[in-house]
């Protein structure tokens, strides 16, 4: 791969191989002796055909890409695709088996809870040590010290050894140090899932601020909404190889659709009694079945079956984003009173004048219930693509990073009574 002249990260033919079933230690302990005895026994069993032989696993193979200064690049893929292994190599925690990775700048990384912290040192001492490792002068660390502590919210525990911190305190302080000590390159793994919702929002906001400051971020996450909002581009890994390197929206769409072998939003799962929903589909204004829409009228149809005629069955439908958050809910109990008893079999339709979702892929959950008790609940009953288009009929389209819903609205200029 020919390197671009201004690349701050160059990954060229990177590969990492692990030996499954093998073991090598640099020193020998009592634990090793016990493990060695067990290993010899396992080897004897393998010799008799009772165990699996050692084999090679390539966590990464022939991975190549480059990142320019100031880019925010997401790394996405299913569990086991090689994302964390890639960041561990870039952070110099582990060596690659083949290929090379060149980073031109000071690197701050947050790969797992407490990365780089010494458990016997206090929070204060770990901040100072982390800054020194990054090559910062004491004056630089002192200038950012109060800001780091305030962001992490660990003022009361600053002089307590970190071994007494909870996992949440660890990750708060770790992220605060990594983001505030001015590294030119910031590597962030999916550790933000450890924090609570409010802290995750703070972290995402801080990463946006870091990106706007011109620093480079490599962000591994399963939160596709965060990847789309933060990243200009994303690399999709599948079985240790680069499946796709594209703009964030295209990469997320490929990953969530299952093109990379991840299964997309997943198959439907359900909780069903003897009655329930048989099928779900979408129709356009002329009754034509569709799988994609943009600001047009949409009808959601469900074919159902119940034991006998009923007059108290209600239906619910909820669209979920790729991050798993519920976005829009429709329920018959809020807007409809059935004027006649429902037949044992039929089709129930819900018409939405204008689906208010921004472009993206969405999962639909549907449910039937009576007196607050589920008759059927289908998770992932259908998926719908909302494609980019002129929702507001003005020719101007809001960027996907600004919203997940688009709502009809109007603007007026009102006289405040003083002639102003």
**The domain that contains 113 carries what CATH number?**
3.40.50.300
Check residue 298 and give its pLDDT: 92
Structural domain harbouring 395: 269-402
User: Which single residue is written with the structure tokens 């006649």?
Assistant: 340
Tokens read off for 184: 């030119």
- The reply to whether 202 falls in a domain is yes
Handedness of CA 165, 170, 172, 174 (dihedral sign): positive
First to last CA, the chain: 63
CA distance 252 to 226: 11
Average pLDDT estimate for 166-178: 80
Confidence at 258, pLDDT banded by 50, 70, 90:
low
Average pLDDT estimate for 405-412: 84
- The reply to whether 414 falls in a domain is no
Mean pLDDT is lowest, of 197-206, 212-221, 298-307, 316-325, for 197-206
State whether 142 and 285 are in the same domain: no
Burial class (CB in 10 A: 0-12, 13-18, 19+), 392: middle
- Percent of the chain surpassing pLDDT 70: 78
- The reply to whether 319 falls in a domain is yes
Please answer whether residues 218 and 188 qualify as being in contact, where contact means their C-beta atoms are separated by less than 8 angstroms.
yes
CA distance 79 to 167: 22
Each residue's pLDDT tens digit, 79-125: 788 998 999 899 888 899 999 999 998 887 777 655 667 889 999 99
State whether 181 and 319 are in the same domain: no
Average pLDDT, the chain: 79
CA distance 227 to 229: 6
State whether 86 and 206 are in the same domain: yes
State whether 252 and 273 are in the same domain: no
Check residue 270 and give its pLDDT: 47
User: Which single residue is written with the structure tokens 């962030």?
Assistant: 188
CA distance 228 to 92: 27
Picking from 255, 182, 246, the residue whose alpha carbon sits closest to that of residue 225 is: 255
CATH code where residue 358 lies: 2.70.50.60
Instruction: List own/partner pairs for 329-335 with CB under 8 A and 24 or more apart.
Output: 330/300
The residue among 197, 226, 256 that closes a domain is 256
- The reply to whether 281 falls in a domain is yes
Confidence at 5, pLDDT banded by 50, 70, 90:
low
State whether 252 and 376 are in the same domain: no
State whether 160 and 287 are in the same domain: no
- The reply to whether 51 falls in a domain is no
- The reply to whether 415 falls in a domain is no
For 388, the enclosing helix (H) or strand (E) is none
Q: How many Cβ atoms from other residues are within 10 Å of residue 345's Cβ? A: 11
Sheet holding 9-20, edge to edge: 55-67, 9-20, 98-103
Q: Are strands 298-305 and 276-283 parallel, antiparallel or unpaired?
A: antiparallel
Each residue's pLDDT tens digit, 339-372: 778 888 899 999 999 888 888 788 898 988 887 7
State whether 204 and 283 are in the same domain: no
State whether 141 and 220 are in the same domain: yes
Number of domains in the chain: 2
State whether 182 and 299 are in the same domain: no
Check residue 292 and give its pLDDT: 82
State whether 221 and 352 are in the same domain: no
Burial class (CB in 10 A: 0-12, 13-18, 19+), 96: buried
Picking from 275, 277, 301, the residue whose alpha carbon sits closest to that of residue 288 is: 301
Pairwise pLDDT comparison (22 vs 68), residue with the higher score: 68
User: Which single residue is written with the structure tokens 């008893």?
Assistant: 341
State whether 280 and 391 are in the same domain: yes
Check residue 101 and give its pLDDT: 94
Please answer whether residues 373 and 329 qualify as being in contact, where contact means their C-beta atoms are separated by less than 8 angstroms.
no
Please answer whether residues 314 and 369 qualify as being in contact, where contact means their C-beta atoms are separated by less than 8 angstroms.
yes
- The reply to whether 33 falls in a domain is no
Please answer whether residues 23 and 55 qualify as being in contact, where contact means their C-beta atoms are separated by less than 8 angstroms.
no
Tokens read off for 394: 């003005």
Handedness of CA 89, 95, 100, 103 (dihedral sign): positive
Q: Does the pLDDT at position 249 exceed 70? A: yes
Check residue 182 and give its pLDDT: 75
CA distance 121 to 129: 9
State whether 249 and 275 are in the same domain: no
Please answer whether residues 145 and 127 qualify as being in contact, where contact means their C-beta atoms are separated by less than 8 angstroms.
yes
Average pLDDT estimate for 394-398: 76
| Helices marked H in 114-270 | 123-133, 138-152, 167-180, 197-212, 224-230, 248-256
Q: Cα 82–87–88 angle (5° rounding)?
A: 95
- The reply to whether 66 falls in a domain is yes
DSSP assigned state of 116:
T
Q: Is 10 helix (H, G, I), strand (E, B) or coil?
A: strand
């Amino acid at each position: 791969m020919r390197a671009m002249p201004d690349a701050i990260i160059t990954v060229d033919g990177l590969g990492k191989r692990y030996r499954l079933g093998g073991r090598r230690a640099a020193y020998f302990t009592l634990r090793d002796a016990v493990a060695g005895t067990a290993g010899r026994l396992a080897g004897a069993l393998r010799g008799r055909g009772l165990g699996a032989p050692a084999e090679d696993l390539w966590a990464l193979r022939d991975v190549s890409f480059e990142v320019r200064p100031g880019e925010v690049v997401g790394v996405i893929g299913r569990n086991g695709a090689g994302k964390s292994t890639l960041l561990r190599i870039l952070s110099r925690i582990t060596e690659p088996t083949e290929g090379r990775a060149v980073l031109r700048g000071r690197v701050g990384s947050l790969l797992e809870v407490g990365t780089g912290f010494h458990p016997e040192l206090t929070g204060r001492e770990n901040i100072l040590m982390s800054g020194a490792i990054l090559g910062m002068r004491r004056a630089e660390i002192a200038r950012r010290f109060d800001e780091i502590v305030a962001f992490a919210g660990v003022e009361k525990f600053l002089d307590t050894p970190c071994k007494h911190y909870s996992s949440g305190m660890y990750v708060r302080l770790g992220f605060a140090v990594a983001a505030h000590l001015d590294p030119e390159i910031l590597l962030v793994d999916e550790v933000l899932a450890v924090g609570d919702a409010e802290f995750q929002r703070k972290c995402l906001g801080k990463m946006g601020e870091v990106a706007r400051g011109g620093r480079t971020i490599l962000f591994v996450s399963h939160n596709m909404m965060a990847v789309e909002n933060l990243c200009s581009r994303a690399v999709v890994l599948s079985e240790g190889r680069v499946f796709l390197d594209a703009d964030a929206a295209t990469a997320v769409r490929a990953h969530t659709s299952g093109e990379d072998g991840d299964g997309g939003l997943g198959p439907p799962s359900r909780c069903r009694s003897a009655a329930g929903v048989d099928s779900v589909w979408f129709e356009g204004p002329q009754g034509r079945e569709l799988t994609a829409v943009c600001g047009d009228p949409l009808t959601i149809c469900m074919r159902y079956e119940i034991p006998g005629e009923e007059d108290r069955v209600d239906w619910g439908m909820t669209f979920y984003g790729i991050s798993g958050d519920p976005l829009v809910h429709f329920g018959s109990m809020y807007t409809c009173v059935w004027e006649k008893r429902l037949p044992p079999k039929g089709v129930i339709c819900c018409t939405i004048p204008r689906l208010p979702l921004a472009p993206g892929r969405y999962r639909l959950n549907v449910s039937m219930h009576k007196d607050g008790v589920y008759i059927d609940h289908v998770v992932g009953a259908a998926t719908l693509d909302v494609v980019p288009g002129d929702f507001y009929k003005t020719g101007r389209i809001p960027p996907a990073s600004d919203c997940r819903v688009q709502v009809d609205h109007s603007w007026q200029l009102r006289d405040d009574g003083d002639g102003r």
